Chains A and B, each alone.
Chain A
Amino acid sequence: MIKWLILHQWKSGIRSTIRQKNLILNLIIGFFIFIMVAYLLLLGLLINRIMQEVYPGQDHVRIFNGFLLYYFTVDLFLRFLMQNLPKINIESYLHLPIKKKLIVHYIVNRTSIAIFNFLPLLIFIPVSGKIVGAQMGPAAAWTWILGMLFMIFANNYLGTYLKRQLASKPLIVGITGAFILMLIVLDILKVFSFSTVSAAMFSYLLNYKYLLVIPFLWMIITYRLHYNYLKKKLYPEEINIRKNRKIDNISDIRYLKSLGTTGSIIALDMRLFWRNKRTRTMIFMLPLFLLYGLFFYPNPVYKDMAGFLIFVGIFMSGGMMLNYLNYVFAYESNYFDALMTKNIDPAKYIRTKFLVGIMISVICFILTIPYLYFGVKIFFINAMTFLYNIGILSIILLYMATYNKQRMELSRGSAFNYQGIGVSNWLAMIPAFMMPVIIYWPFSAAGYPDTGIMFIGVLGLIGLSFNRYLLSFVYKNFEQRKYKMAEGFRQK
């Protein structure tokens, strides 16, 4: 029976229309994975030398063990955010004489085949041999790597279990994230040393090898936890949908009603974003874009790298807009036919999308004004890149969006959901982020960096003042492409 389940899973994978159509996207993702594996492999091979360089003459096993609790905590958090739950259409099996137990075991085990479980081994295996083994002998090396394996899979079962249970409760996720951050800060401030606890725990394991039974039991417990949860919930509606959701009255805004069709389209967009899992995940990613500057501004190294700061500026006020405009038509793929046959003027429709895109950018810009704290120059760069974003980038993105003709499934949410992302979306990102930097360079090389930054803003203002003219190109292109888009959107 298991044989059939695996076979069906395999077929649903290779026969998925999305995968077949998206060869280039697959190649790009494949390339990134390849690079990542190559790096990790290299890091693993050189791990003993690196440790020697960074921590000369110290107890490397102890240092490494000190990292582990952090690693597994962060790993758990990342899994929660990013690891995709395998999608199995249980309805097609439940009515057949197959034992429920078997289906549940299969679903739980299916999560084991995730890249998250195998990438860390590229580091852990060399560490077990070259560091633990070299220092404490082969028996310790075996104990250590087995312990790691149990912990990795325990994290796998626990992470996917938590994801199943809590995916719809972003607040809890946020609090957990903050808690982990706090632990790290406390450790840095030396208030409470999480790493000492971690080092002690895993040293015990190496000294008393029979303690290996603890991580093993932990793995079994997490497996049973996930298993029991699913076993109880093995009804399609309970596994997939949340029930009894209240209908929000978001977007029942009086002002929108006064705008006529434009208002209706905006209200529709707001509901679209709030009521679908995938788009809602995106809203929760907003702080990530806004906090981006915080990674760079406090560091004096970047102070004089204006080219880089331009990139940061574009990203902060434009990142969210990019997410919106780049897929602006694909988001509505579910009901694109309706929009095309109802009395909606396409020119007005496109213009409304443009305005919403700009509004998003305005909000992002306002929220990043506090970065003024890091100096007027940073504010100046952010203001100019903001103008560029709303005047030029917005139009480019809208134009590119007409080339994205893949249906997007909005009910499945996850940070790394590539479903429905077309090649055009990737192409759009290149000019999106690089063009202002390219514009800036000649000015900077000629010795007028500030003029260069200002020029980026002026370009934006020019684009903004001619937006009606520029949007007419988008409109013409849209009219040309709408049949292709409609056809693509219909393909499930």
Chain B
Amino acid sequence: MIRINNLTKKYSGTTVLDIPSLEIKKGESFGLVGNNGAGKTTMFRCILDLIRPNSGSVESKDEKVSGSEDWKIYTGSYLDDGFLIDFLTPEEYFKFVADVYGLQDGDLEQFYKDFGEFFNNEILGKKKLIREMSSGNRQKIGIAAALLPKPEILVLDEPFNSLDPSTQIRLKNLLKKLKSEEQMTMLISSHDLNHVTEVCERIVILHEGKIVQDKITGKETLKELEEYFAVNN
């Protein structure tokens, strides 16, 4: 589904990302962990064609993401606040997203129904602009908007951050369901080792822009990760 070849990104001489080769298969749930500055967000931005790598390329469905727009149709993403349009109300924002993906009003109603529990009555009908909402609620809006067009690929950067415990659990269940029922390909970065091992079947550790470990999640994975990060800090 997604293939990375010889990808490097440098900022003023320092290499912040260097991935010779990486392939993410269809339906795979891919977890990315690493300390601050490891290059997680940079990698996601390369995948979403938001930064131009110094070398190499990212392919989505065998087509390079730079120079193509096709991947946008089947990719949902939320990296940070910059993905939200802060002067809109949540409803206006969802309507906008639905429009650009050519969805009908019926789809949107269904979406509101599906996400009713996830929103927990804190998002819809509040007559508040997104910029006036708490960071947790903004995070919910961003994640929901990424899922609104029912994408085949989902890219989320630290989705559990600033969510309340109930929503964290709901999000985990939602992601698991999307994986098992829709075979959605998911790329999720997280600082929370518990969550990421629970949701993702494959974990990659990034350190100073390089992949240092790439493993299939098993019973021991959480322990191994904790040991790794206890030593390498």
Interface centre among B50, B51, B129, B132 (most CB of A within 10 A): B50
Digit string of B80-102 for contact with A (CB within 8 Å is 1, else 0)? 10111111110010001101111
Please tell me if A19 contacts chain B, counting CB pairs below 8 Å.
no
Chain B interface category by residue count: 20 to 34
Contact of B129 among A267, A275, A337 (CB under 8 A): A275
Contact of B127 among A247, A275, A341, A479 (CB under 8 A): A247
Residues on B with beta carbons closer than 8 Å to the beta carbon of A139: none
Contact of A343 among B67, B72, B79 (CB under 8 A): B72
Q: Which of B107-161 contact A (CB under 8 A)?
A: 127-129, 131-132, 149
B84 CB to nearest chain A CB (Å): 6
Please tell me if A483 contacts chain B, counting CB pairs below 8 Å.
yes
Task: State A161–B82 Cα separation when bound (angstroms).
Answer: 34
Task: State A349–B131 Cα separation when bound (angstroms).
Answer: 24
Task: State A433–B31 Cα separation when bound (angstroms).
Answer: 54
Residues on A with beta carbons closer than 8 Å to the beta carbon of B52: 483
Residue of A nearest to B86 (CB): A334
Task: State A85–B135 Cα separation when bound (angstroms).
Answer: 27
Task: State A338–B102 Cα separation when bound (angstroms).
Answer: 16
Please tell me if B190 contacts chain A, counting CB pairs below 8 Å.
no
Residues on B with beta carbons closer than 8 Å to the beta carbon of A344: 72, 100
Q: Are A247 and B75 in contact (CB under 8 A)?
A: no
Residues on A with beta carbons closer than 8 Å to the beta carbon of B49: 340-341
Please tell me if B199 contacts chain A, counting CB pairs below 8 Å.
no
Q: Which of A428-469 contact B (CB under 8 A)?
A: none
Residues on B with beta carbons closer than 8 Å to the beta carbon of A334: 82, 85-86
Q: Are B50 and A261 in contact (CB under 8 A)?
A: no
Task: State A260–B99 Cα separation when bound (angstroms).
Answer: 7
Residue of B nearest to A490 (CB): B82
Contact of A336 among B51, B67, B79, B82 (CB under 8 A): B82
Please tell me if A271 contacts chain B, counting CB pairs below 8 Å.
yes
Residues on B with beta carbons closer than 8 Å to the beta carbon of A246: 127
Please tell me if B174 contacts chain A, counting CB pairs below 8 Å.
no
Task: State A276–B83 Cα separation when bound (angstroms).
Answer: 18
Digit string of B53-81 for contact with A (CB within 8 Å is 1, else 0)? 00000000000000101001101010110
Residues on A with beta carbons closer than 8 Å to the beta carbon of B72: 341-344
Q: Are A335 and B50 in contact (CB under 8 A)?
A: no
A305 CB to nearest chain B CB (Å): 44
Please tell me if B205 contacts chain A, counting CB pairs below 8 Å.
no
Task: State A222–B211 Cα separation when bound (angstroms).
Answer: 64
A17 CB to nearest chain B CB (Å): 15
Residues on A with beta carbons closer than 8 Å to the beta carbon of B129: 247, 275
Task: State A479–B69 Cα separation when bound (angstroms).
Answer: 11
Q: Are B87 and A276 in contact (CB under 8 A)?
A: yes
Q: Are B73 and A343 in contact (CB under 8 A)?
A: yes
Q: Are A338 and B85 in contact (CB under 8 A)?
A: yes
Task: State A337–B51 Cα separation when bound (angstroms).
Answer: 10
Q: Are B89 and A247 in contact (CB under 8 A)?
A: yes
Residue of A nearest to B148 (CB): A342
Q: Which of A255-287 contact B (CB under 8 A)?
A: 260-261, 263-264, 267-268, 271-272, 275-276
Task: State A345–B96 Cα separation when bound (angstroms).
Answer: 14
Q: Are B79 and A337 in contact (CB under 8 A)?
A: yes
Q: Which of A134-180 contact B (CB under 8 A)?
A: none
Residues on A with beta carbons closer than 8 Å to the beta carbon of B89: 247
Q: Are A261 and B87 in contact (CB under 8 A)?
A: no
B154 CB to nearest chain A CB (Å): 12
Residues on B with beta carbons closer than 8 Å to the beta carbon of A276: 87
Please tell me if B186 contacts chain A, counting CB pairs below 8 Å.
no
Task: State A410–B86 Cα separation when bound (angstroms).
Answer: 11
Residues on B with beta carbons closer than 8 Å to the beta carbon of A340: 48-50
Q: Are B82 and A338 in contact (CB under 8 A)?
A: yes
Given A260-B99, A268-B96, A335-B82, are A341 and B75 neighbors across the interface (CB < 8 Å)?
yes
Given A247-B127, A345-B69, A483-B50, are A335 and B83 neighbors across the interface (CB < 8 Å)?
yes
Task: State A366–B72 Cα separation when bound (angstroms).
Answer: 40
Residues on B with beta carbons closer than 8 Å to the beta carbon of A346: 69
A262 CB to nearest chain B CB (Å): 10
Q: Are A338 and B83 in contact (CB under 8 A)?
A: yes
Q: Are B87 and A341 in contact (CB under 8 A)?
A: no
Q: Are B85 and A487 in contact (CB under 8 A)?
A: no
B140 CB to nearest chain A CB (Å): 16
Residues on B with beta carbons closer than 8 Å to the beta carbon of A335: 82-86
A320 CB to nearest chain B CB (Å): 20
Task: State A337–B102 Cα separation when bound (angstroms).
Answer: 20
Task: State A285–B149 Cα separation when bound (angstroms).
Answer: 40
Digit string of A400-440 for contact with B (CB within 8 Å is 1, else 0)? 00000000001100000000000000000000000000000
Task: State A486–B41 Cα separation when bound (angstroms).
Answer: 14
Given A264-B99, A264-B100, are A341 and B86 neighbors across the interface (CB < 8 Å)?
no
A254 CB to nearest chain B CB (Å): 14
Task: State A261–B80 Cα separation when bound (angstroms).
Answer: 24
Task: State A489–B51 Cα separation when bound (angstroms).
Answer: 12
* 27 CB < 8 A contacts A-B: A260-B99, A261-B102, A263-B99, A264-B99, A264-B100, A267-B96, A271-B88, A272-B87, A275-B87, A275-B129, A335-B84, A335-B85, A335-B86, A337-B79, A337-B82, A338-B85, A340-B49, A341-B72, A341-B75, A341-B77, A343-B73, A343-B102, A410-B87, A479-B67, A486-B50, A489-B82, A490-B82
Which residues of A approach B to under 8 Å, CB–CB?
A: 241, 246-247, 260-261, 263-264, 267-268, 271-272, 275-276, 334-338, 340-346, 410-411, 479, 483, 486-487, 489-490
Known contacts A247-B128, A275-B129, A276-B87; 14 additional CB pairs below 8 A are: A247-B127, A261-B102, A268-B96, A335-B83, A337-B82, A337-B83, A340-B48, A341-B77, A343-B72, A343-B100, A343-B102, A410-B87, A489-B82, A490-B82
